[in-house]
Structure 1
Amino acid sequence: MGKTILFIGILFFFVCPVVADEPEDLCHYSTEGQDFWFGLMQNRDKGNDHYLEITVTSRIGADFTLTYGPNEMPIGDGSYSVAANDSRTIQIPFELLESKGSENTEGKGIHLQASNPVNVYALNYRTQSSDVAVIYPTKSLGTEYYAMCYMPPQVGSNEKNSEFLIVASENDTKVTITPSVNTAGGKTAGIPFTISLSKGQSFQVQSLNNNITGQGDLTGTYISSDKPIAFFSGSKATPIPVNGNSYDHLYEQMPPTSTWGRVFYIVPLASRLKDTYRVLAADDATVVTIEGLNLIITLNRGQYFEFELDRNQASRLISTKRVLLAQYCRSQNLDNSGVGDPFMIILSPVTQKIDDVTFVAYESALIQDIFYINITSLTSEINHIILDDAPISSQYIKAFPKGEYSYARVPVSKGTHRLYNDNKDGGFLAFVYGFGDRTESYGYGVGYNLDIQLDIEGDIKDDTLVICKGDSYKLDAGDYFINYKWSTGETGSTIVVTKEGWYTVIASAPSGCTKSDKVYVKVEDPKIDLGEDKVACYPGEIILDAGPEFEKYLWQDGSTDRTFRVLETGDYSVTATNERGCNASASVRVSVFDPVFSQNYEVASVEHPAISFFNETENSVGFWWDFGDGATSNEENPVHHYSAIGKYRVVFQATSKFGCADTTSSTVKIIPFTLSTPNAFRPESEIAENRVFLPITEGIDPEKYHLRIFNRVGSTVFESKNPETGWDGKMKNGTLAESGVFVWIVQYADVQGYAHQQKGTVMLVR
């Protein structure tokens, strides 16, 4: 069952919030009042034990009247009274005032007027499907709302629509509705439509119910009006989440967007495995941080995000702009406790604390001894919270992982309880709930201080907004107010800032409420210091460090570490980004002293054994060469003549002007240089090497070789550019050459590129 309150045979909580040290004014209203307009949404009707109840509590006692509709028809006797620190319940047939259907204007708005401040609670009860809402007084109503509901199951029986209800508190009220999904009455998602209501009239909207394609979730529907209205949303009946096998009526009064908050502390329900939550945004580009999940999301206007927290995941939620936060109890088949069913609680931001409340727990046949109150306050105040004349036991108190708040989940017994802060400047947030056998449960906030918020939005921490040098930022005071005056002299709801300093805004609301807020804008210009250009001695190394104050790093080679290991000479650069998104860049030249030399020949012939060596080391001032044949030199670029064939290891040592000294080495090979030829050959010889004419070479460049054979009249009979291909005695046309003497010429280059030519004669024998 959903949240429930006092009536015969059923157990519920009732609360009387008191804010002793913060008197109500044009900007600050509690849920206690003397004039109320409200209504009740449609519950799933099964024709058994279905009725409505209105419960009134008072700290000092009051007379009150109950009427409904534009003509203010009396409910029951019409006039009632409630004693001090007591409650009075009036039961109403559901057929009289429960809203019916979708997009029908009905005269079912309920009006309560009291002689003294009271608190009002409304219940729609049906066996195993009930819910209760704390009712806001007329002075706390607004003109802009969003619906918070839940997704109906994709398939199943009818009567599980999401829904919302509008009640007019004044005549000639124009209300514009932009549904987030198609409605049961035929309105199209995203297309605004306008209705006109008189005081006391109500207008209910339900989602389209289609068991094949699934029913819609009206969460995110936008409501605006030209006069204050009461707005309620929830569900006719729904499981939570959609795969739950049991369902309940959801019914909550929605606070106007002007009272939404940016900082919430979430306390999971006691004895449950996990809870479901939804956060809903009223503005584009709303950045929400859910610290318990290490999750950051961005929502636009009317969008929501659903998440779950385990029973021990108490968490802070922070938003850059105003949001609405709902906590849902899940269907009992998804929990191991075997008790309870869906209900929805609208959670209060930290700006809505109260300091004194009286609540009563009444038992029913199904809820007898499982009751809790969740309490949140500043850690410095938690020991000042008094429950039934005793401080909260330390066994129930835990600190939130982040922030300055603590919480307690305290079991309570049936009956009347008082919760207050004995520090008159302190406060707390609290909600109560109970579980019964299988499908019985309820929960709701004990009361709120609806504080109209003027909050300069942005990525603000401790009243400081950090922007990057060269950037601009738009400070937004919201659109609820009608007059604005900034410290810059500007009068719009937003200003664009680029300079560091304090910025203050004073704004007035249509109600006459005047608020002020200020923020310090800090212009951040981060720097990276890689130092002056550096020199390292090979094989040493240099570590470049961009500093610890950044979150992201990008070096010239694409690496992303904070430090960079330099092994060779070059230019090195890094761009780093800090937690605010501000960038800094730096570069440095690093010279690594690594001895390097070159030589004009690695292989030389004995005919040309002179090798030139060249120093290529930067910043070197001293030189020493060992040519491998016993000779040395101190010249920078020496020439050395080798006198014998062989392989020589050349060692070079360079000394830099920075004091670095190191060596490197290379190899030089001096090879023979010869070309010899036979003086005769016979192609028909039994010895293979005698069958062709082939010059024997050593130390030549095979790419620069050309052999030609001429007959006695000077005609070319054969040529080859491959030193491994000789003449087999055939003419160019393939015929056999006759025996005789032939002239040969070989043109070639040695390995160093020097050109040579030799010629002679050869006898062809047949």
Structure 2
Amino acid sequence: IYGQASGGSTPYTYTLTDLSSNTTTTLQSPGGMNSTPTLTSTTQYTISVMDANGCQNGPQMIVVNVRPALTAIGTTYTSCATHTVNMAPMITSVGNGGPYTYNWTGGATTASNIVTANYLGNSPGLNPNTYTVTINDGCSIPGTFATFSVYVNPLPDARFTPTLSQGCAPLTVVFNGIGDSTTTNSNPFFWTFSGGTEPSSPILNPKTIGFPIAGSYSLTLTVTNKYGCQQLIAQPKVVDVWPVPVAGFFADPGSASLMEPTIHFTNTSTNAAAYVWDFGDYSNANTNTATTMNANHLYSYIGVYQIYLVAINAKGCKDTATGTIEITPDMGVYIPNAFTPDGNGRNDVFFPYGYGISEDKYKMEIYDRWGELIFTSTEFKKGWDGTVKGSETIAQDGVYIYKIMITDLENNKKNYVGHVTLIKQ
């Protein structure tokens, strides 16, 4: 507290009174007055002055405002290893209102005039890391300080293994996440794929995913341990899915008779490098397969045959095409033009013969030259012995008309009309 008188006659006598304690301080000086009391709260004073002649001035009121001391507090943090912690003290009493200076200890970033210290946690353990900041406002002496405690939890140490890393489309892969002693919490794994179809939840472990389309696929695995600390595992090319060829063929003809049973197979496959044919003809194992691009096969028996073509590309990926061909029975009919019903056992009976004939769907009729029906048979092996209408009388020599109705094994009907000569000897 400073007082300065002027005029009158020196020396001056100053009287300073503390009104809160009614304490008076007297000081004689040829000049001014200076008092340095220690105060803890706002205090009122009066000051008066008297010169050497006894002339007096005052008292005058002086109010000394004392602000509260600067105070601050720190915080306790829990963090994960390698993470950054921003530590900022909270000033609970502003002191003179600043500006403030800050000085950190304990290994954190140290600088003046900053509020925040960044801590890069990389030493997990049970004991906290302690940091102290000293704050000064230029008024409070020695200032104040705040203490911070940082507990560091470890990151999970995790990895994964796939059952396959490459293969032909469609490819199904099972990924198994492997954690450590800190991943005992429920659902520590979260899977993210760049493609594919997920038949199961992304938090399941092991994780099954299908890749129906060829390409390279990436994986991001986020592992969270029981402390809430996370590790991110990113692998850009975790699965390589190869394309498959497209198998195809056509048969020419698609159906053939046993008389001409050779079938030509034309390969229409794409993106293939090798081929395996299976003609479905197991009557001859030596000729039932082929490895040429196009193929021919000779069938020996009637029937419907299942054909398989396996197309294989350079990666060994396969595709199979199937189809059927049919070998039908051909019908051959031979009808004699004469017979001699003389009982000598040679050429005594007139009847057709051949192959591919349905014997239970057969009928033969014989007419004389006047158009009269003289013989009928529905049994393929029962021919005309020359008798007339079931009698024992042999017809006269001459030319007779036959009408034969034959059905093949495919139920195709055909009628034959012609002449046969009966010769008696």
TM-score normalised per structure 2:
0.27
Q: Which has the higher contact order (CA 8 A, sep 6+)?
A: 1
**Which protein has the larger Cα radius of gyration, Structure 1 or Structure 2?**
2
TM-score normalised per structure 1:
0.16
